[in-house]
Amino acid sequence: MPGTEPGGAAEAAEAPSAEAPPAPKSPRSKAFVLTVGLSLALLAGCLLSAAIGAYSIPIGDVLGSLQHRIGLGGQPLDRVGESVLWNVRLPRVVLALLVGASLGCAGALMQGVFGNPLAEPGVIGISAGAAVGAVASIALGLTFFGNWTITVFAFIAGLATVLLVYTLSRSGGRTEVVTLILTGIAVNAFAGALIGLFIFFADNAQITQITFWQLGSLSQATWPKVLAVLPCAVAGLLIAPFYARKLDLLALGERPARHLGVDVERLRITLVLVVALLTAAAVAVAGIISFVGLLVPHLLRMANGPGHRFLVPGSALGGALVLVAGDLAARTVAAPAELPLGVLTALFGSPFFFWLLRRTRRKQGGWA
């Protein structure tokens, strides 16, 4: 064209690329960054939780004692320090890791199975149902399975509860969010009534134990309790990631998922069993701790998208981090008194749940 200088077209083509914004990070790179960040934060939280308390232990001494125990050098603490670290602090830290990972992973699975971000074991009554099983075994003095009695009864009650809620909430081939929440309210109320009956007939020692289940706490953490919950938690956490791809396909809808080879009903029943296993294991040793399974998966979904390959294991990491940090706060905020962990998580989780409910309703056009 007249007036066009040589090389002008090339310069014009290069100009936009020079001013173009940098390409966004891929989901894989985001997932990697989040995984590394959560892992480092969890490691720091565990060290702080092991070090901070009524008997303060420097972090360097904690690391030295750990190295000494596993044969990598290091120096042991004095007699009192070793006892506090290994008999009080570390069982509590490990139990917080297992319980938090179980609740976070269970929440991610529940949201994937029901197809909405408001599903969570505590919200729809699974935790309360599992607590009923645990409380019943305490109040009735049952010892059929030795140290496993509470865990077994909590698992059975949690499984029955999740199957009941799933059945009552399902209508026309899908699960409505409102129906899910209302069913959970009814189940929680019924479970609370049963717990009240057990309290009425229990003696003072049993009432103390039952109160522990209602408030949620890790104050009674011991290595035997860690070993009792370890098989259930590890089994559920290892099984869950294998269903991540099927959950991604289920997110497309039941019909597309079936066309892609997913047995939807079998998938849901299997994951319901995994959720019941994880939740029952957590409730059996820590009581009712709400909102961890709701907050963590939803926040990670907002950060990295809905892909379950990261969401399921990431929720386990995030849940462990939240519970380790929450337990540290419960021990130190009101020292020398200790706040119930379940009360603390509900105190911070309830406002977030209300915000999430309003946000979801607005997207659906239910509110102006």
Q: What is the pLDDT of residue 2?
A: 46
Mean pLDDT taken over the chain: 83
Predicted confidence (pLDDT) per residue in 76-134, tens digit: 888 888 899 999 999 999 999 999 999 999 999 988 988 877 778 877 788 888 889 98
9 pLDDT above the threshold of 50: no
Q: What is the pLDDT of residue 78?
A: 85
Q: Is CATH 1.10.3470.10 the classification given to domain 96-361? A: yes
Residues forming a β-bridge with 171: 174
Token duo for residue 72: 């990598």
Predicted confidence (pLDDT) per residue in 55-68, tens digit: 888 999 899 988 88
End-to-end CA distance of the chain: 56
Cis peptide bond prior to 336, omega within 30° of 0: yes
Structure-model confidence comparison of residues 226 and 208, the more confident one: 226
Residue 69's pLDDT band (boundaries 50, 70, 90)?
Answer: confident
Give the residue extent of every domain in the chain: 96-361
Percentage, residues of the chain above pLDDT 90: 29
**Phi/psi class of residue 115: alpha, beta or left (left: φ > 0; alpha: ψ in -120 to 50)?**
left
The arithmetic mean of pLDDT across residues 143-159, rounded, is: 81
Predicted confidence (pLDDT) per residue in 164-221, tens digit: 887 887 776 666 667 877 888 898 899 889 988 988 988 888 888 788 777 888 988 8
